[in-house]
Structure 1
Amino acid sequence: MNHNLSASVSKVEKIILDGIKATGPIPFSTYMQLCLSHPTHGYYMNPSHPVFGTRGDFITSPEISQVFGELVGVWLLSQWENAGRPAAVRLVELGPGRGTLMDDVLRVISRIIPGNSSINVHLVETSSSMRSLQEAKLCSSSRQAKFDIHWHHSVSDIPPSVSEYTMFFAHEFFDALPIHTLQKTETGWHEVLIDANPDYNATGDCQTDVEKPNVLKTTTNSNSRLRRVLSRSPSATSTLLGQSSPRFSEIPIGSSIEVSPTSFRTARQVGELLLGNVKNQEDESSRSPGGCGLIIDYGDDHVFGDSFRVSRMRKVNLHFFTAAAKAFSNHKLVDVFDQPGDCDLTSNVDFTYLREAVEDLVTVHGPIPQYMFLEKMGLQLRLDSLVRAAKAEARKTAIRDAAERLVSKSGMGTEYKVMGLTTGVKDGGKVWPFVKAETEK
């Protein structure tokens, strides 16, 4: 059965289909990279996509309430205090969005850190259009007088420092990094690939290393030009990724997992950044003052599979999902093959995988639910202050509603997790609010 190809084909979809026709099925990681980061047509690279805020596909925690960023700033400051208040400080954010979170954090930090202290800001952002938004938000004349702001394409581009205390945070960053989807079989780990749907292909004659691939019947969508297929045999990549965590050996045959080597590598680089990238930390003359960090994302302390797919939901509530990979468009969940490049692709974060990447470099705390982190960091006190300062009753209500959304136990409050990273704190050391919160879970 051949469908009518006159239906709208996105520019990225055409690139993907042409690539599959030339070289065969592609891994999910390649699909995500093309959809999100194609230099001209990728979701984050195309300036025609508003992306964040009520006009775009995201309404993130920092955009909902300033309290979120302020409490992140308070936690970073508390670790800076514990480190002895180093004079030189640098802030590092991955995927800063519109710059709202960094703006809120800087507002808090500038009130506490002495005016004569050196503060550098490093933003990891690949999109030129997003950089423009961040510059407009952060680079006012008053800000430029106190903070030096630098942009980088990756964490590895940030230079090591033995003189600055590093404050790091990443909010909804790791969820957008490319994943590989693997399925465990009796012969090993096979990779789930993306192929052209023969229902839309009159010839269906692509010849590749996965000749006549096994179609995953539960995930084939006849309404899409793309489909999922299972490679006929394990590859070097699928075998290596399947062995990249000791936990994966316990996965039962027939199960699928999402693995992000990019997330592992990035987390590792963050750990090295906090440590100061100094090989000999025993040498007092070259020892870095260290650093701290927060990773905030939706996910949990385990690996995720892909056993359930939802094409569209009116109410965005991630609690209903057992499958990790999903697409957002206008705040609604849609099929991941719907208009590639025009929707955002995300996957739940395996926080244990991140822990495994950095635990020999820094001390890891959590993760704990977002509601627990915010409440323990003083959400109610800050909320009361903002409500008292608001004059209009409508404004007071809006402030309360925004805060409630952040800590809702049927939504963002539990779906989002917070992981802390510190140097200079030995395993088992008490770092608020993680230690007490973990005993209350």
Structure 2
Amino acid sequence: MRLDHYMAACLLDPQAGYYATRDPFGQAGDFITAPEISQLFGEMLGLCLAQVWMDQGAPACFTLAEAGPGRGTLMADILRVLARVPGMLEAADIHLVEASPTLREVQAKTLEHHQVTWCERVEDLPETAPLFFVANEFIDALPIRQFTRTETGWAETQVGAEDDTLRAGLSPATRLALLEPRFALTRPGDIVEICPQAVPVVEAVAARVRHGGMAIFVDYGGWRSLGDTFQALEKHEPVDPFACPGQADLTAHVDFEPLAQAAVAAGLAVSEMTAQGVLLERLGITQRAQALAGKLSDAALEDHIAAHRRLTHPSEMGQLFKALAFVPQGAPMPPGFAPAG
């Protein structure tokens, strides 16, 4: 089967899929995300959302949505910030895009003091109200197709069985229209990955942001996919992605170029792709970290300093993770972001 079909089965099968059967987040899980590292991450994004809401005239009713909300930690931190902005929390209609029943239960406990609506797809979000949308480490979990450039075309990565063991192999090479623009820009042996579901997600979000609001995508990746980034994590360590289907998290680096192109095609203003560390510094994370540090001591202070470094330092998450934002044409760019050149 194609690699994207394999990923979808491993991650989303209703009975045996990775996300359907467990809470994978945190130190006791398989990976840890920025909101679980420190409240600072969510607070900075909350400040960004609040400024855009005010810049756009403080709409009296808007959809506040997060895709792939994990345990609900990021949304909880965002809501704590929005509660300090007069009228904003009252205007927010909170939606979480989450397909996993297991994670919905966790999110409901985290956000028990808020009224929340769940939906399975971004396309199910309200269509007419302004949309303020956040997706942190969401696109990286969407299934990818992977192709290896040959002298004559593209050979697609496929998954098959050999001696009762799953292995990756390559299909016969062929020319593909969707990769024709990349053929002259690559060499034999180069690997290109595409995420078929990513552009439709952006298109659905963009259709709603046209009514007002903003969208922020944060994920690890870069601009114009090149190389094999498909990986599996279990207990915070890399593992063979074909050894135990459904037992490990499967992800790939996000290619931000087609996301930006889809938003531009939808008529929105798009930011430059911005390193997470740069974005958080522009939003004031160091000043907030220093204010919180004054109330801490000993191990708690050491953990706080380490969390700030992990989120922002170029050798940790600061450079590996990138952010992209878009807003309606004519609206001010969100704080922390520069317009795309």
Please say which structure displays the higher CA radius of gyration.
1
Residues 1:434 and 1:248: Cα distance change in structure 2 (over 3 Å): farther
Partner of 1:72: 45
Could you tell me which residue of structure 2 aligns to residue 189 of structure 1? 154
Within a 5 Å distance, the mapping from 1:12-411 to structure 2 comes to: 26-46=1-21, 49-114=22-87, 117-140=90-113, 143=114, 148-161=115-128, 164-197=129-162, 200-201=163-164, 225-234=165-174, 239-243=176-180, 246-247=181-182, 249-275=184-210, 288=211, 290-306=212-228, 324-361=229-266, 362-390=268-296, 392-411=297-316
- The answer to whether the 8 A contact 2:135-2:217 is kept is yes
1:194 match: secondary structure: strand
Pick closer, same or farther for the CA change 1:133–1:411 going to 2, 3 Å: same
- How far apart, in 2, do the equivalents of 1:178 and 1:42 lie? 13
Q: Spell out, residue by residue over 1:160-190, the C-alpha distance to the aligned partner (whole angstroms, 9 max, x if none).
A: 01xx331100000000001011122343223
3-state DSSP class of the match of 1:226? strand
Query: Separation in 2 of the partners of 1:180 and 1:61?
Result: 26
Identity of aligned residues (%): 36
User: Residues of 2 paired with 1:113 and 1:325: CA distance?
Assistant: 44
Q: CA deviation at 1:384?
A: 1.6
Q: Which string of whole-angstrom CA distances, capped at 9 and with x for unpartnered residues, describes residues 105-160 of structure 1? A: 011011104178421011110100000000011022xx3xxxx3111110111130
Amino acid at match of 2:260: R
Distance in 2, matches of 1:326 and 1:89, equals: 37
For 2:334 and 2:202, how far apart are their aligned partners in 1? 20
Q: What is the DSSP-based 3-state SS (H/G/I as helix, E as strand, rest coil) of the residue aligned with 1:111?
A: coil
Alpha-carbon contact 1:241-1:261 (below 8 Å) kept: no
Query: TM-score under structure 1 normalisation?
Result: 0.73
Matches of 2:321 and 2:293, distance apart in 1: 25
Q: Which amino acid in structure 2 is aligned with residue 266 of structure 1?
A: V
Q: Which segment is superposed worse, 175-184 or 253-262?
A: 253-262
Give how far 1:77 is off.
Answer: 1.1
Q: How far does residue 247 in structure 1 lie from its aligned partner after superposition?
A: 4.5
Q: Aligned-residue CA RMSD in angstroms?
A: 2.0
Q: 1:93 to 1:248 in 2, by over 3 A?
A: farther
Which among 406, 409, 420 is matched to residue 325 of structure 2? Answer: 420
Separation in 2 of the partners of 1:433 and 1:116? 22
8 Å contact kept, 1:298–1:349: yes
Alpha-carbon distance, 1:227 to partner? 1.8
Quote how far apart the aligned CAs of 1:424 are. Answer: 3.3
TM-score normalized by the length of structure 2: 0.94
Q: Which amino acid aligns with 1:30?
A: H
Q: Post-superposition shift, 1:80?
A: 1.2
Which range moves more in the overlay, 246-255 or 36-45? 246-255
Alignment-mate amino acid for residue 432 of structure 1: P
Superposed CA deviations along residues 253-312 of structure 1, whole A, max 9, x for unmatched, are 33221111111211111111211xxxxxxxxxxxx3x11111000001121322xxxxxx
